[in-house]
């Protein structure tokens, strides 16, 4: 595994840690604010936070790279990523109203299966058998981590969360396409501003926006906007530049593991044997994916996945 791939994997891992605590924050925020209002405010906040970072990053770049074609590509990438993220976060927020945070985490993370399938169907990107094994283990791990031992009962919000997984698949593949060719901070900024503006427009027509509710939800908004949004998704965009999208999806799925570990470390919760097995399987899945990437790099003449 080369140095860039290791760096990208570590950035994605850090993003998963940050996202691990976000599901609880999202549900807490909606005790005071309706779904589109919550998404709109937190995503707009994330975009505004990234404006200075994008300006500094652009000044540090080679001026020869700042061409009209690249700026056009930047706007197109931001728009497409923003549309996918808007659809995904909207479906997730609405689905969380009637679905538990654990089940929502499982259904959302099914993009780990959809990413390699969509990559093959749309772009004929091959995925090694070892990575497919990792994907299978990840699905079993997610089930153990997120679904109670009593079983999986389908609810109305579950279908929305399946749609959310499809949209996150599109967002991951969109980032994989544009991130290596444009400024990562600018792509993240545009993605968040598009998502935030669209969410606020929908909220203006469908929800009652109250300042009192926003003030009561200040901490969930700040956490999901600055940490989970501006920092987490920027780490995704920068990290994905040098990581296979299927491997990236496995690393990002670790958010479910870190959600459980955060509860243990910060809230004093106890892990069940089921959750411990789920964590072990998820880490095994990620290790298999990383080993597959390392083998791929070391074998000269091997075609890309």
Q: Give the single-character DSSP code of 30.
A: T
What would the DSSP string read from start to end of 233-251? IHHHHHHGGGS-HHHHHHH
Per-residue pLDDT of the chain (305 residues; tens, 9 = 90+): 577 888 888 899 898 888 877 766 776 777 888 889 998 999 999 999 999 988 888 887 766 677 888 889 989 999 999 999 999 988 987 887 776 666 676 677 778 778 888 887 787 777 777 778 878 888 888 888 777 776 666 667 778 888 898 999 899 899 888 988 888 889 999 999 999 999 999 999 999 888 998 999 898 899 989 988 889 888 988 888 888 887 888 888 788 777 777 767 765 667 778 878 887 887 787 777 666 655 443 434 433 33
pLDDT score recorded for residue 98: 72
pLDDT score recorded for residue 197: 95
Ramachandran assignment for 151, one of left (phi > 0), alpha (psi -120 to 50 degrees), beta (any other): left
* Angle (CA) 5 8 10, round 5°: 110
The whole-model pTM stands at 0.79
- Answer positive or negative: Cα dihedral of 269, 232, 11, 126: positive
Q: Minimal CA–CA distance to 15: which of 227, 162, 179?
A: 227
Residue 90 · residue 202 · CB < 8 Å: yes
Distance separating alpha carbons of residues 85 and 171, to the nearest angstrom:
6
Torsion angle, CA of 139/145/149/155, rounded to 10 degrees? -70
pLDDT score recorded for residue 305: 34
Distance separating alpha carbons of residues 3 and 24, to the nearest angstrom:
34
pLDDT score recorded for residue 291: 65
Strands (E), 35-166: none
pLDDT score recorded for residue 298: 41
pLDDT score recorded for residue 161: 84
* Angle (CA) 213 215 217, round 5°: 70
pLDDT score recorded for residue 199: 95
DSSP-derived 3-state class of residue 169: helix
Question: Could you give the C-alpha distances from 68 to 55, 64, 179, 183, 256, in angstroms and in order?
Answer: 17, 11, 17, 14, 41
């Amino acid at each position: 595994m080369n140095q860039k791939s290791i760096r990208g994997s570590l950035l994605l891992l850090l993003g998963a840690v940050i996202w691990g605590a976000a599901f609880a924050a999202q549900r807490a925020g909606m005790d005071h604010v309706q779904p589109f209002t919550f998404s709109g405010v937190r995503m707009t906040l994330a975009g505004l936070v990234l404006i200075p970072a994008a300006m500094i990053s652009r000044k540090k770049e080679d001026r020869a790279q700042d061409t009209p074609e690249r700026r056009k590509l930047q706007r197109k990438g931001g728009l497409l990523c923003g549309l996918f993220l808007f659809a995904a976060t909207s479906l997730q927020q609405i689905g969380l109203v009637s679905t538990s945070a654990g089940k929502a985490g499982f259904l959302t993370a099914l993009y780990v299966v959809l990413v390699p399938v969509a990559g093959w169907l749309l772009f004929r990107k091959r995925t090694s058998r070892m990575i497919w094994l990792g994907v299978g283990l990840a699905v079993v791990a997610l089930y153990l981590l997120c679904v109670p031992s009593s079983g999986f009962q389908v609810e109305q919000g579950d279908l929305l969360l399946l749609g959310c997984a499809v949209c996150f698949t599109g967002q991951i593949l969109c980032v994989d396409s544009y991130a290596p060719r444009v400024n990562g901070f600018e792509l993240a900024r545009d993605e968040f501003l598009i998502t935030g503006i669209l969410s606020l427009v929908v909220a203006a027509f469908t929800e009652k926006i109250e300042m009192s509710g926003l003030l009561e939800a200040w901490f969930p908004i700040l956490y999901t906007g600055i940490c989970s949004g501006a920092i987490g998704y920027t780490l995704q965009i920068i990290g994905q530049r040098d990581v296979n999208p299927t491997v990236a999806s496995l690393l990002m799925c670790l958010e479910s593991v870190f959600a459980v570990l955060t509860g243990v470390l910060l809230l004093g919760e106890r892990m069940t044997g089921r959750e411990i097995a789920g964590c072990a399987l998820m880490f095994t899945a990620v290790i298999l994916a990383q080993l597959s990437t390392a083998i791929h790099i070391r074998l000269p003449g091997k075609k890309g996945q």
